Amino acid sequence: MTPGASGTAPEVVLGVGGGIAAYKSAEVVRRLAALGAKVTVTPTTAALRFVGAATFEALSGRPVLTDVFTDVPSVAHVHTGQDADLVVVAPATADLMARAAHGMADDMLTATLLVTRAPVLMVPAMHTEMWAHPATVANVALLRSRGVVVLDPAVGRLTGPDSGPGRLPEPEQIAAVAELLLHRADALPRDLEGVRVLISAGGTREDLDPVRYLTNRSSGRQGFALAQVAAARGAAVTVVAANTALLTPPGVTVVPVTSARELHAAMLDRAGDADVVVMAAAVADFRPARRADAKIKKTGDDGAPTLELVRNPDILVDLVAARRPGQLVVGFAAETGDATADVLTYAREKLARKGCDLLVVNRVDGGRAFDTTDNAVTVLGAGAAEPVAEVPFGPKALIAAAIWDAVGLRITARCPAG
């Protein structure tokens, strides 16, 4: 975790708006504390009707700050915002965002938002009609224009029988974005507005029989981190996900697939509508020549059966061959070095062979990269003698931000202003 301004654990203010989703904010406190942050909770008066101050104080180990008359001698309504390294508001109700957008400061939370110069993350939760109302749309646009990170809400069950956009994202998703902003305050600019993104994620499975398959260790975390960051930066994102068990990022469409051929078909079918295509999935190079209709039996002392394998299609090569003018294609390479050459030598050869615009290089020796929350990568660009970026070990969302930085520069170069 990146230390705060004082060089110690970062100071995070968690604002809680007065909506039913406030019950999830207790878990947000726990997850922020698990990142190593010191958390101060500033609920609105309405929020305390859903979750009591004692709950927040027990989880944070700090007094709850509720109004501008709390701790008057230390001017808490000012120094709370001044001392913060990050302010998270979850849930951010329509009323709270309206007051924040128009500079109101009639309670501790809105005063803190007006004082702070730290990054601000707002996570909306409200009924679909409220989220879609022109007033809320305008307030969100105004907040974003000032640099506030406003996530799109999740789609799902709301209060009562209603369902639709407006659900608070899950606490682990909120904490992941908070962690990214603590590492890099500038990680989520709205620089991908209007950009259509297609991402593959996860690891494909190739059936041997009804109960067995060939696969790999990919969890899909990097692909989903790419999706979450791209959506937060304004892109319209679709993920073709192979065998993942991850939460759908807010504002992202997920298309589930199983095998390499299914992934190939889904990506090629949707790539024509995308401005950026990212092949982050770990695709099986081979599949069994035949799938047994019944479970392969172990009989007597005959030993193990011999498996005949055939090649799967090279999805990245086919995406590059089919790309339309102006489309950017990003590939991933899982590499290890050997006595013949190092990782980057093999990666540069792959970049030239595949023909994509960027190649993200994972060193996968020693249990790195696959099924982990953190990683380090090198980003190579076509025709560049030096790496575009060396991303040190850290959360996969931080890697995603660096990749989108590189993509954004190329989008700007291909479509200059004016």
Active site residues: 216
Structure tokens, 239: 């993920």
Q: What is the DSSP letter of 20?
A: G
Q: What is the DSSP letter of 124?
A: E
**Gap between the terminal Cα atoms of the chain:** 41
Residue 60's closest CA among 111, 11, 6? 11
Question: Which three-class secondary structure state does DSSP give residue 88?
Answer: strand
**Range list of H helices, 233-337:** 260-271, 315-322
Q: What is the DSSP letter of 102?
A: T
Mutual angle of helices 94-101 and 108-115, in 10-degree steps: 40
Cα 101 to chain center, whole Å?
Answer: 25
Give every CB contact of residue 251 below 8 A, 6+ residues apart in sequence: 151, 152, 231, 237
Longest dimension (CA), the chain: 84
Residue 229's closest CA among 200, 191, 257? 191
Q: How far apart are CA 294 and CA 280, in angstroms?
A: 33
Tokens 């009804």 -> residue: 210
Q: How far apart are CA 39 and CA 213, in angstroms?
A: 45
Residue 310's closest CA among 285, 284, 340, 289? 289
Do β-strands 149-150 and 86-92 pair in parallel, antiparallel, or remain unpaired?
unpaired
Q: Quote the Cα angle for 417-184-344, to 5°.
A: 80
Residue 197's closest CA among 411, 415, 413? 411
Q: What is the DSSP letter of 208?
A: S
Sign of CA dihedral 377, 380, 385, 390: negative
Question: Which three-class secondary structure state does DSSP give residue 123?
Answer: strand
Q: How far apart are CA 387 and CA 385, in angstroms?
A: 7
